[in-house]
Amino acid sequence: MERSVAIQRVEELVETVENDTMPVPVREIWVYGDVALGLDPIDRLDVYVTKDILLRGDDADREDDFVDTHGVKGIGKTVRAEWADDHPDLIRANDNGYAAPEKCLAAHLLPENEPVHLEVCNSSFEDNVTQRLRGAMARDAYEQILDPRGVCLWVDGQRSTEAFRKLRESEFAFPTLPAALEMLGMEEEKTDSAAEAVESYRRRQDGATVRGDVV
């Protein structure tokens, strides 16, 4: 993807979150990886969204309605019923038949055939970077590491025009991924193999992808 197209996609995503009813409340939008580093073109556009969890939505009593009409559980509890009413074609479920917030967000926000990856979590980007790194080191599952080189573009309804400007002009300066992982506490002798695992995992992805996480 050309860099200019990637940034345009991010701007469109932010505008969609600002103007549309989302399946769940969104608190933060970040970009990380290639686009944050200033590469052109980029292999994939990586976007991180922090969402709130609907433990019990205002329309939880409507869950049975959507089970009957769509065969999906959890509407009104984990995903807003108002959103589902407006976008029945975008309702997505997990393997257990429950509405999946991250998949619903991806269906609403992402073009299907473009190399865009969406990370969705209830925790902020910086906190999740740390949590994921700890888990990856404990299990030697380095492909699960979240690239820490990110840029916050939108928080609680406020867009950072300065962050967008710097993103367009490639003004952000970041270390290499091995150096960034070492700064976060990974042993130096493991950082190169960890970085390669992250890049190898990304190269195997195709089209629009999404990952949901709860911390």
State the Cα–Cα distance between residues 128 and 69, nearest whole angstrom: 36
Nearest to 47 by CA among 170, 171, 196, 211: 211
Q: 180 versus 203: which is more confidently predicted? A: 180
Q: 64 versus 193: which is more confidently predicted? A: 193
Measured CA angle at 38 (ends 127, 5), to 5 deg? 100
Contacts of 165 (CB under 8 A, 6+ apart): 171
Residue pLDDT, tens place only, 62-92: 778 888 888 899 898 889 999 999 999 999 9
What pLDDT, on a 0 to 100 scale, did the predictor assign at position 63?
Answer: 76
Token pair listed for 188: 């130096």
Domain spans of the chain, in order of start: 3-55+102-213
- pTM beyond 0.75, yes or no: yes
